[in-house]
Amino acid sequence: MRYCRIKDVMTHEVVRTGRETPFKQVARLLSEHRISGLPVIDDGEKVVGVISETDLLQHQAQQDEGYGRRHARLPKLTHSARITAAKAHAGTAEHLMTRPAVTATAEQYVTEAAQTMREHGVERLPVVDDKDRLVGIVTRGDLLRVYLRTDEEIRRDVTEQVTAGLGLPRYIVDVTVEAGVVTLRGHLERRSDAELAAWIAGHVDGVVTVTDRLTHRLVGARGPASSGPSGHM
């Protein structure tokens, strides 16, 4: 099935910085370009880390907390706390960035990017080639662009994907779309076909939800074909 890929929504012209970029210059880049994060690259254009506004805010917060009690005895720090403490004194992107960078490739699906962002709690993914060199960046906002597709675009795509996935003529399944909500109507041979049709429709880019009003004659799933033409799938 054809789903939207990262290369279709990513930004190609990426604001980036190097390891030795001073803290204030990083802050200036974020402010001037009105962005909330940027990748850090090495001399070979490979992504080595990512800096977000959160990293800069951690720096500020830790500086404020430490002011006035620098001579106090500190408890043993956890690994995470040591990283946070190091960022409090970061003077360059090298020590400010979060590493390793969570990245994606241009050929990955938008749905995969969304899952990666959710799992790692990040708002952007540098996009890299097969040598880990920076070629773009994708943000949460970019991923949401799939929901800007028109109802007619979604209807055509759902119709094509469902009928192709089931190996049926287009007129068998009636597809209507309103505000991204897909409704499926028609009569299929098996319940498994109806369930598969709803699953396929739900995974088409831009679909908000699926209302399944398909009916079926048989309860069981398709079995292997014993003779004649091969099965639909």
pLDDT in tens, 5-24: 999 999 999 999 999 999 99
Q: What is the pLDDT of residue 62?
A: 57
Say if residues 161 and 173 touch (Cβ distance below 8 Å): no
Q: What is the pLDDT along the chain (233 residues), one digit of tens a residue?
A: 456 899 999 999 999 999 999 999 999 999 999 999 999 999 999 999 999 988 888 766 555 555 455 544 545 544 454 555 455 555 899 989 999 999 999 999 898 999 999 999 999 999 999 999 999 999 999 988 888 889 999 999 999 999 999 999 999 999 999 999 999 999 999 999 999 999 999 989 899 999 999 999 877 655 443 333 333 33
Q: Which domains does the chain have, with CATH numbers?
A: 6-146 (3.10.580.10), 149-218 (3.30.1340.30)
Q: Other CB atoms closer than 10 Å to residue 59's CB: what's the count?
A: 22
pTM to 2 decimals? 0.68
pLDDT in tens, 138-157: 999 998 888 888 999 999 99
- Looking at the DSSP bridge assignments, the partners of residue 92 are 22
